[in-house]
Structure 1
Amino acid sequence: MSDLTTLATFFGWSTVLNIGLLVFAAFVLVVFNAQVKTLHVKYITLDTADLNTLYFSFLGRYKLAIIMLNLVPYWALKIML
């Protein structure tokens, strides 16, 4: 029982930290959009119009990964306890 509690705590804090990182990334992309695009255009050979699609795709996939790999295991462990 103690191991499951420790594992549930781990997944809970992992979820909180990853959601915080997701919110921070979304904030940076919204507030500093021009600066981020300028930085990425230097390193990636894409148009600035395509970068918005990449940013949206990244945030969506990261959110989905958080849900599947952190939040669902946390809920499952909470149900078991």
Structure 2
Amino acid sequence: MINDDFWSRVFFCSLIIILIILIIWFLLFIFARNWMKQLHGKWFQLSDHTFDAIHYGGMAIYKIGILLLNLVPFLALYLIRNS
């Protein structure tokens, strides 16, 4: 049987990886926005406002997913293990 320590490590490693992905996405959006818009412009005709809204909304949904699917279970296991 797999113990709580294993799952805590799984959630922690997963949390680190997906936070790195979010940071890379944010940095690309800030510093390489024109390149990203040009890349997406090959497939979609998006205005600047729509492009920004899609990425801002995508990052918001991604952060909510991080909180609900990784951070909360990690904290729950941590609290259970240390109580």
Using structure 2 for the length normalisation, give the TM-score: 0.90
Q: Please state which structure has a larger fraction of its residues in helix.
A: 1
Provide the rounded CA distance (Å) in 1 between the counterparts of 2:40 and 2:74: 35
Counterpart in the other structure of 2:64: 64
- Cα deviation for residue 2 of structure 1 reads 5.7
Q: Percentage identity across aligned positions?
A: 23
In structure 2, runs of 5+ residues without a counterpart are none
Tell me the matched-pair count: 81
In structure 1, runs of 5+ residues without a counterpart are none
What RMSD in Å do the two structures reach over aligned CA positions?
Answer: 1.4
Question: How do residues 68-79 of structure 1 correspond to structure 2 at under 5 angstroms?
Answer: 68-79=68-79
Using structure 1 for the length normalisation, give the TM-score: 0.93
Question: How do residues 46-57 of structure 1 correspond to structure 2 at under 5 angstroms?
Answer: 46-57=46-57
Counterpart in the other structure of 2:40: 40
Q: Hey, which bits of structure 1, 4+ residues long, moved more than 6 A?
A: none
